[in-house]
Amino acid sequence: MQSRPSFATAFKGRRVLITGGLGFIGSNLARALVALGARVTVLDSLIPEYGGNRRNLHGLGRKVAINVADVRDRHSLPEFLRGQHYLFNLAGQTSHLDSMTDPETDLEINCRAQLTLLEACRKHSPGIRVVFASTRQIYGRPDYLPVDERHPLRPVDVNGINKLAGEEYHLLYSAVHGIRSTVLRLTNTIGPGMRVKDARQTFVGVWIRQILEGKPVEVWGGEQLRDFTYVDDAVEAFLLAATHPKAVGGVFNLGGVGRISLRDLAKTLVAVAGQGSYAVKAFPADRKKIDIGDYYSDGRLIAKQLGWKPRTTIRQALARTVDYYRKELPHYL
């Protein structure tokens, strides 16, 4: 990153739509875009099991237009797309376990609604720039580490299969219909606004809640390595992806500063919080089936092409997140 990023003026006065905009990453993106002078509309279904939470945009007042709508409701979408310059497409069903017990809902959100959105872009807003939030989950169990973008795609659950289709729709519409799109494959993202009520978004959310509530954290396995992106870094990647000419039609991994075992993550979390405890347990059978072992991503492509690098260490990320929930926890339960 240069001291003055390429997107510093790109969004001023521009119309931006964020699906899943009351969710964790979407809301942080909305705040950043408002600060950059964009005219931001957020769409969110506010379904309790998903990531949306009005608290995430607390204090912004009228600087952002909040619209409660579900991306599955195809009739309202064309209206939202009309006249938009940017679409940050973050609405999704993110729970791997839910995708296995209710695969059709996952499909409706992660596949069908994506097609509807892209069709609406094609018909009503063909000049739009789109950034799609995908997931490292589509790589499945890594053949090698770190995982780069050329790694085979072998999703291990319905969610991964559907997110992969979602990616492909975006790339296809970019290549064939000229709806300029970029796919970001996110690894675990953490920060203020993340879901802490349960593990539907990430287990780290539950850990933070348990630490703050004085309950012991359960670490399953413990040896698995992971990387973590702090949400401010992720937001910067989205803004770059939306504005950098080299991003069009591209697929990029996001990564983190370093990697860490789940056991060490729990240890660090307890240390930065100054409270709590953790215990290592065997992996539950239903989780084991769809777990992917170690994962950390190779972030060289996005560094080279778009100049993005994560800057926040895991310790800093955990400290800021714990600070936030120390005050805000009641709004997220």
Q: Which residues, other chains included, contact 173 with Cβ-Cβ below 8 Å and sequence gap of 6+?
A: 118, 121, 122, 179, 181
| Residues in touch with a copy of itself (CB under 8 A) | 100, 103-104, 107-108, 111-112, 115-116, 119, 152-153, 155-158, 161-162, 164-165, 168-169, 172, 176, 289-290
| Least Cβ distance, residue 120 to a copy of itself (angstroms) | 12
Q: Rounded CA gap, 315 and 298, in Å?
A: 20
Compare residues 14 and 151 and give the one whose CB is closer to a copy of itself. 151
Compare residues 50 and 173 and give the one whose CB is closer to a copy of itself. 173
Compare residues 116 and 210 and give the one whose CB is closer to a copy of itself. 116
Angle in degrees, CA 236, 207, 275, rounded to 5: 105
Q: Rounded CA gap, 133 and 93, in Å?
A: 11
| Least Cβ distance, residue 180 to a copy of itself (angstroms) | 16
Compare residues 152 and 293 and give the one whose CB is closer to a copy of itself. 152
Compare residues 135 and 210 and give the one whose CB is closer to a copy of itself. 135
Which stretches within the chain are classed as H helix? 24-35, 77-81, 96-101, 103-107, 113-124, 158-177, 203-212, 231-243, 262-273, 285-288, 300-306, 314-328
| Least Cβ distance, residue 128 to a copy of itself (angstroms) | 18
Whether residue 190 contacts residue 139, with contact meaning beta carbons closer than 8 Å, is answered with no
What tokens were used for 73? 């409701």
| Least Cβ distance, residue 215 to a copy of itself (angstroms) | 31
Compare residues 145 and 156 and give the one whose CB is closer to a copy of itself. 156
Angle, helices 231-243 vs 24-35, to 10°: value is 60
| Least Cβ distance, residue 293 to a copy of itself (angstroms) | 15
| Least Cβ distance, residue 27 to a copy of itself (angstroms) | 29
| Least Cβ distance, residue 84 to a copy of itself (angstroms) | 21
| Least Cβ distance, residue 175 to a copy of itself (angstroms) | 8
SS3 296: coil
| Least Cβ distance, residue 124 to a copy of itself (angstroms) | 16
Q: How does DSSP classify residue 297?
A: B
Compare residues 13 and 293 and give the one whose CB is closer to a copy of itself. 293
N- to C-terminal Cα distance for the chain? 36
Dihedral sign for Cα 219, 235, 324, 52, please.
Answer: negative
Compare residues 143 and 198 and give the one whose CB is closer to a copy of itself. 143
Whether residue 242 contacts residue 7, with contact meaning beta carbons closer than 8 Å, is answered with yes
Whether residue 179 contacts residue 157, with contact meaning beta carbons closer than 8 Å, is answered with no
User: CA dihedral defined by 308, 309, 311, 317, rounded to 10 degrees?
Assistant: 90
Instruction: Tell which residue, 218, 270, 201, 173, has the closest CA to residue 56.
Output: 201
From residue 216, alpha-carbon distances to 94, 225, 228 in Å are 25, 21, 22
What tokens were used for 309? 């690098």
Whether residue 35 contacts residue 60, with contact meaning beta carbons closer than 8 Å, is answered with no
Compare residues 115 and 199 and give the one whose CB is closer to a copy of itself. 115
